[in-house]
Structure 1
Amino acid sequence: MNIIRTPVPVLGCPEDGVALVAIGDVHGHFGMLQKIIATAKKTLPKSAKEIVFVLLGDLIDRGDAAIEIIDLIREGIEDWRVIPILGNHEQLLLRVLHAPDDDYRHHWALWRGNGGQNTLENLQIKLPPLADTDVPDHRRAFEKALGQDRIAFLNAMPSHYKSGNILCVHAGVDPTLSLEENFAKDKLSNAPDHWAWIREGFLDHEGTYPDNCFIVHGHTVLPGPTLAPHRIGLDTGACVFGVLSGATFFKGEMTVFQVTAD
């Protein structure tokens, strides 16, 4: 099933001529990503000069096709500009890849326990048990399974994307700090006020955000796309409820659309 809602006016507007399409957390559901790409095409205004397709993070984990999703995005989608933003799940994986040897086991267990096991199974390779393997050997086997091109893709994922006054970010921003201060934070930090993790202080904020941005985010699972005056949350639980949501922004209007796993 797919749903396209009636366009509504919002305070967010991308750059002139840009149709900005934002997609919530996919979490390894390749079929739903394919369906939402097809649905997004139906929302694109004919007068748009450029299509920017933003994935709001958490492409991987919990679903069974994270690798297919990464490879699809690396190959490109239509002739669109594709921006895959770093989510906390990609960050957890990067923390494994960047961990010093004495922290590797900790980060490996943390990633696996938060949905990474599904991504490992998707790689279709049996790694030796970490408990019975030296860390350098395990790391080499894991990196070989992932492949250097995918690792480079993960390392290059940006913290955010901004067009006009629309700011796309995985979890949100700390409204008490400037955008520069928010995105100067260590890319691999898991501090609760980090742009890949924040909830408290962002979701309950009722005023404007830095630079009067309209923020488009994922991360926090909601039963439906949740619109507030200065933000919208698009994580509707692809891995929980089987619903993937997106929104197209053009000239001060927003069109919300959704697909289901069925």
Structure 2
Amino acid sequence: MFTLTDTPVKFVALLLFFTFTTVWSLYQLARRQTGATLVSNLAHLAMSVVMFIMVPGTLWRPFVAVIPLPVLVGFFGVCTAWFVFLGVRGLAAAGPARKHGWHALGHAGMFGAMTWHLAGMLVRMQAMMARGGMGHGGMDHGDHGGMGHGGMEHGSGVDSATMVGVDPAIMVAIVGIPLMAYLLIAAIGNLKNAITPSPDIQDHAGHEAAGHGHYVAGNPRLAALADFAMNFGMFWMSTGLMVPLLPFFSYLAF
């Protein structure tokens, strides 16, 4: 979780990002659409809402008391598989639909990062429970509380509670490297499309046929900005999980 006191810029910015993505997802849903597009837009809405709830502890703690972390990990894992399916289906198609297959795989990368983030929180929480304590606030994103400052309790690396000599927080960060790289690269591409939308971004009919949602209706620049908010917001939210491996990421918590 994040707080207005400890990380005011990050706290406010993430709330704004995920409010925007939630509104955009609701806008995409407020129209008649194919079954596949409906599923995709519902998945985007669910991700936006959960990301919003993840920011303040006052929302996150009661939320996971009702819907436990393992359930959330499983749900977003299924969403990832859905977009992988759409991507593979698109790449197997002939003609213009193939380019939208890559776009669906991009959404799969974003949902995969969400799954990793939640799974990372679960792994770190379980590691702390094995060590006999939950720190200052239970499960969080690694910036403050839960795992101590920067992701490892009291700044230690490997201790007697770790398995095979590797701290679970380090393992989580290693798995996250390609996902974090994808989120950052995708966010840069989203900004480029927000300035000058590419032809495939403006192809509403193609997005509808591909079924991955988010670009089917509305201004393509706003759609690209919504994707930027999701990709960069997830990247920024997840930086705390990378601190045990890349300590300089701690400077992004402000």
Q: Which structure: greater helix fraction?
A: 2
TM-score computed with the length of structure 2 as normaliser: 0.31
Q: Which structure: greater strand fraction?
A: 1
Higher RCO (C-alpha under 8 Å, 6+ residues apart): 1
TM-score computed with the length of structure 1 as normaliser: 0.31
